[in-house]
Chain A
Amino acid sequence: EAGVTQFPSHSVIEKGQTVTLRCDPISGHDNLYWYRRVMGKEIKFLLHFVKESKQDESGMPNNRFLAERTGGTYSTLKVQPAELEDSGVYFCASSLTGGSPLHFGNGTRLTVT
């Protein structure tokens, strides 16, 4: 079974630019999550999809972040416009059911300069 894949693995952008991260969950996993780890800090929840619906987006920091999961398959997370504090590693994870163990992707390391 293919794991969770994320693209790109690294992204370096300037403040004010836009970046879109993509996540392909494990096939058949209805639950898709986005988490973020800022340097030296804990992994923090951003949001949770069940199929194409946003189940919980309480962790989204502000309206510069937009997540979509059209068709309930892959998901994108857009940051527009990016700010310096958005730098970090963005992890996508999927699970078969809500509450079951998470399968993480390799993450996208975002650097905003």
Chain B
Amino acid sequence: GQQVMQIPQYQHVQEGEDFTTYCNSSTTLSNIQWYKQRPGGHPVFLIQLVKSGEVKKQKRLTFQFGEAKKNSSLHITATQTTDVGTYFCAAPSGAGSYQLTFGKGTKLSVIP
């Protein structure tokens, strides 16, 4: 089945530093979604990217979808302690499928 590879698995940053997590697929994706799970919490939807080369911003978060629609990234500028958590990318498992395949997640720790 489809796999979505996500790196890095862990990232420790000093507060104020930037952070980026990457997702890659061997197949073209119809869309990609990003979720954030705070420690002890549940995944919360952040954004969905659909168009080739799309870039969306939410305050300090920048999401990109590659031109070939096979990769995506989430970049956080000037991290804060509130950014702590695990960030997951997720994509439909196949054409017309509503089943999502999740990446393994990137666990972000922010050192104050």
Nearest-neighbour CB distance to chain B for A74, whole angstroms, equals 17
Q: Which of A31, A41, A98, A106 contacts B42 (CB 8 A)?
A: A106
Given contacts A43-B88, A101-B33, is CB(A107)–CB(B42) below 8 Å?
A: yes
Residues of chain B contacted by A71 (CB below 8 angstroms): none
A91 → chain B closest CB, angstroms: 6
Instruction: Report how far A56 CA is from B41 CA in the complex, Å.
Output: 26
Interface string of A20-62 (1 = CB under 8 A from B): 0000000000010101000001111100100000011011000
Task: From B43, B93, B98, name the one whose CB has the most chain A CB atoms within 10 angstroms.
Answer: B98
Q: Determine which of A35, A42, A99, A104 lies in contact with B44 in the assembled complex, contact meaning CB atoms within 8 Å.
A: A104
Which residues does chain B contribute within 8 Å of A55, judged by CB atoms?
98
Q: Count of chain B residues with Cβ under 8 Å from any Cβ of A? A: 21
Contact of B100 among A41, A102, A103, A105 (CB under 8 A): A102
Tell me, in angstroms, the Cα distance from A99 to B97 when the chains sit together.
8
Q: What separation, in Å, do the CA atoms of A45 and B94 have in the docked complex?
A: 13
Q: Interface centre among B44, B45, B100, B103, by most A CB within 10 Å?
A: B100
- Number of residue pairs A-B, CB distance < 8 angstroms: 49
CA distance A33 to B45 in the complex (A): 15
- B42 close to A56 (CB less than 8 A): no
Chain A residues with Cβ below 8 Å from B43 are 43, 91, 102, 104
* Shortest CB distance B46–A (Å): 9
**A interface footprint on B26-46 (CB within 8 Å = 1, 0 otherwise):** 000000010100000111110
Cα separation A101 to B42 with both chains bound (whole Å): 14
CA distance A106 to B99 in the complex (A): 19
Distance in angstroms between the alpha carbons of A45 and B90 in the assembled complex: 11
**Cα of A59 to Cα of B1 in the assembled complex, Å:** 11
Q: Given known contacts A45-B93, A56-B97, is B42 in contact with A91 (CB within 8 Å)?
A: yes
- Give the top 7 A-B pairs by smallest Cβ distance, nearest first: A101-B45, A98-B98, A43-B102, A104-B42, A42-B104, A45-B99, A104-B43
Give chain A's interface residues, CB within 8 Å of chain B: 31, 33, 35, 41-45, 48, 55-56, 58-59, 91, 98-99, 101-107
